Structure 1
Amino acid sequence: MDDKPHGTVRERLSALQEQQRRAESRRRLLVIGASLLAGGGLVAAATILILQDRARTSLDAVQTINVTQRNHTENPVSYPQSPPVGGDHAPAWQNCGVYTEPLRNENVVHSQEHGAVWIAYRPGLPKEQLDILLEQSRGRDFVLLSPYANLSAPVVLSSWGKQLKLDSADDPRLVAYLRANINGPGTPEPGASCSGGVGEPST
């Protein structure tokens, strides 16, 4: 009996199986490659988002001022910054909280010595902007919020030896600044009281 036809069938079957194995191998490689590309794309996208977020909350624009004087005085003080970021000040500190009227520089500077951040805003700031400032101020210790005439920016954040000017209250650097500078590393008397002084905040 001639086995040649059977051998030919077996050879063809073997060849087809080999082709299928190669095709399956190619498919696996394509799937792996696509997964790697997609994963790389996700990593790249995540990296971009992280870098963008860091840029939005970067405090590189914060001005650092060397403050050398911090004596008590009953006299008015001429400060080089407006609002001030430290210096000689009144014996009584300003109670922290929200104010609807301008505050006396000399009292607020004493609060800054205790670790407070002063959020000053231009009078007439739009209500939606002021609402953001109120939201970020209420419930926080060591924060003062008040209007301030003739500001060089709509919102100015000031603490002892530090200042940041913002064009908008919804700038994410507002929160970043508060976190970094409430009782920040440059505070002369960190943790000293921000109540029991002068002034009656609305909240």
Structure 2
Amino acid sequence: MAAHPNPSTADRRARIEEMRRAEKARERRNRIITITLSTVVVAGLVGFGAYVLDKESDEKAQEVASAKAPIRDEKSWDPKKLGRNHPTTPVSYPMKPPVGGDHHPVWMNCDGDVYKKPIRNENAVHSLEHGAVWVTYNGKAPAAEVKKLEEKVGKTPYTLMSPVEDQAGAIMLSAWGKQVTVDGADDPRVNQFFTKYVQGPQTPEPGAACTGGTGQQ
């Protein structure tokens, strides 16, 4: 006659089996959750990457469009009529600040250099020949606007900034053969001018140094 399992033993086996089934069910749920979360994270990263690339592409397109668009109230001079000789004597310029012409053999350092005192026109014009943008201001320019422009110039290679008290506008931007008077640091023409003319197509000597010149004021 076959022996029957002890009821308590059968109960323990049943509980163990039930625990095993529950554990396997938990493992399956955890795997599903892990896979789902991983999929969501990967999808999120891919989507974020696409968003960043799209944003960068849009910003680049805006920069290109800005560089091609005309700048409101900008003045231009024929580059063929702007001399490029290197005299060591003072030069008389027909515009103020000058946007080109004969200039000193040594350029003004223009690697984001901010000068608190007036600088020699002849040195600054040589910087323009190298593709720099020169930001100038007079006593009518609000101090807050001057500070913002100083910060922008300080972060931008191939730019320089200095006061020119007897200029016509409170804040003016000059490049070789180009000039515009702006309303303030947040005037959209500031970014447009920088984008268009820092080492822009007007540059007679693109890639020439903006360091190693003079910083004398």
After TM superposition, the score normalised by the length of structure 2 is 0.64
User: Which residue pairs with 1:109 in the alignment?
Assistant: 125
> Which whole-Å CA distance do the structure 1 matches of 2:98 and 2:203 have between them?
14
Q: 1:58–1:173: 8 Å Cα contact kept in structure 2?
A: no
User: Which residue pairs with 2:193 in the alignment?
Assistant: 177
Superposed CA offset, 1:124-150 (max 9, x none): 632211121112111210101111111
Shift of 1:58: 5.3
Shift of 1:61: 1.8
Structure 2 unaligned spans of 5+? 1-61
Superposed CA offset, 1:55-86 (max 9, x none): xx851321110132110000111101100000
Specify which of 96, 99, 117 is matched with residue 82 of structure 1.
Answer: 96
Superposed CA offset, 1:25-64 (max 9, x none): xxxxxxxxxxxxxxxxxxxxxxxxx9xxx8xx85132111
Aligned length: 147
Tell me if 1:91 matches 2:105.
yes
Secondary structure of 2:152's counterpart equals helix
Letter of the 1:64 partner, please give it: S
Specify which of 173, 179, 194 is matched with residue 157 of structure 1.
Answer: 173
Shift of 1:159: 0.5
Specify which of 44, 48, 60 is matched with residue 72 of structure 2.
Answer: 60
Percent identical residues: 45
> Which whole-Å CA distance do the structure 1 matches of 2:71 and 2:183 have between them?
14
The two structures, once aligned, show a CA RMSD in angstroms of 1.9
Which shifted more, 135-144 or 111-120? 135-144
Secondary structure of 1:118's counterpart equals strand
> Which whole-Å CA distance do the structure 1 matches of 2:191 and 2:154 have between them?
13
Secondary structure of 1:192's counterpart equals coil
User: Which residue pairs with 2:164 in the alignment?
Assistant: 148
Give runs of ≥4 in structure 1 deviating > 4 Å. Answer: none
Superposed CA offset, 1:94-131 (max 9, x none): 00111100010000000000000000011363221112
Letter of the 2:87 partner, please give it: T
The higher radius of gyration belongs to 2
User: Which residue pairs with 2:144 in the alignment?
Assistant: 128
> Which whole-Å CA distance do the structure 2 matches of 1:148 and 1:123 have between them?
9
> Which whole-Å CA distance do the structure 2 matches of 1:113 and 1:123 have between them?
27
User: Which residue pairs with 1:70 in the alignment?
Assistant: 84
Q: 1:122–1:149: 8 Å Cα contact kept in structure 2?
A: yes
Aligned in 2, Cα 1:200/1:140: closer, same or farther, shift over 3 Å? farther
> Which whole-Å CA distance do the structure 1 matches of 2:168 and 2:93 have between them?
15
Q: 2:72–2:189: 8 Å Cα contact kept in structure 1?
A: no
Structure 1 unaligned spans of 5+? 1-49
After TM superposition, the score normalised by the length of structure 1 is 0.68
User: Which residue pairs with 2:55 in the alignment?
Assistant: none
Q: 2:91–2:103: 8 Å Cα contact kept in structure 1?
A: yes
